[in-house]
Amino acid sequence: MPMRLSRTYAYTLLLSLLLTGASAQAGVYQWTDADGEVHYSDRIPPEKSGLGHKVLTGDGRVVEEVEGQKDADELRREQERAAREAELERQRRLQEQYDRSLLITYADASQIDKLRDERIRLVDATIRLTRAKIDKIASRLEAAENRKIHFLTRQRKPPKQLLANIAEYEKQLANYHQQIRFHEQRKRQIEEKFSRDKTRFLELQASRASRNETASQ
pLDDT tens digits along 183-217 = 999 999 999 999 999 999 999 999 988 887 777 76
Predicted local distance difference test score (pLDDT) of residue 52: 72
Looking at the structure, tell me whether residues 111 and 176 fall in a common domain. Answer: yes
Predicted local distance difference test score (pLDDT) of residue 22: 43
Q: What's the structural domain count of the chain? A: 3
Going from the C-alpha of 29 to that of each of 32, 116, 193, the distances in angstroms are 10, 69, 62
Spatial neighbors of 69 by CB under 8 A, at least 6 apart, are 50, 51
Domain membership of residue 209 (yes or no) is: no
Q: List the end-to-end C-alpha distance of the chain, in Å, as a whole number.
A: 77
Looking at the structure, tell me whether residues 127 and 161 fall in a common domain. Answer: yes
Mean pLDDT (the chain, rounded): 84
Predicted local distance difference test score (pLDDT) of residue 172: 98
Looking at the structure, tell me whether residues 116 and 82 fall in a common domain. Answer: no
Q: Can you give the residue range of the structural domain that contains 186?
A: 107-201
**Residue pLDDT, tens place only, 143-159:** 999 999 999 999 999 99
**Residue pLDDT, tens place only, 70-119:** 667 777 888 899 999 999 999 999 999 999 999 999 999 999 999 999 99
21 vs 213, more confident: 213
**What does the chain come to in residues?**
217
Looking at the structure, tell me whether residues 134 and 144 fall in a common domain. Answer: yes
Q: Is the pLDDT of residue 130 over 80?
A: yes
Predicted local distance difference test score (pLDDT) of residue 211: 83
Local confidence band at 19 (pLDDT 50, 70, 90 cut-offs) = very low
Spatial neighbors of 120 by CB under 8 A, at least 6 apart, are 187, 190, 191
Domain membership of residue 140 (yes or no) is: yes
Please compute the mean of the pLDDT values over residues 163-174 and round it to a whole number. Answer: 98
Most confident of 12-16, 29-33, 79-83: 79-83
Looking at the structure, tell me whether residues 77 and 142 fall in a common domain. Answer: no
CA distance 168 to 159: 14
- Which of 78, 105, 132 finishes a domain? 105
Predicted local distance difference test score (pLDDT) of residue 50: 63
Domain membership of residue 206 (yes or no) is: no
- The answer to whether 200 touches 98, Cβ cutoff 8 Å, is yes
Q: Is the pLDDT of residue 129 over 90?
A: yes
Predicted local distance difference test score (pLDDT) of residue 133: 98
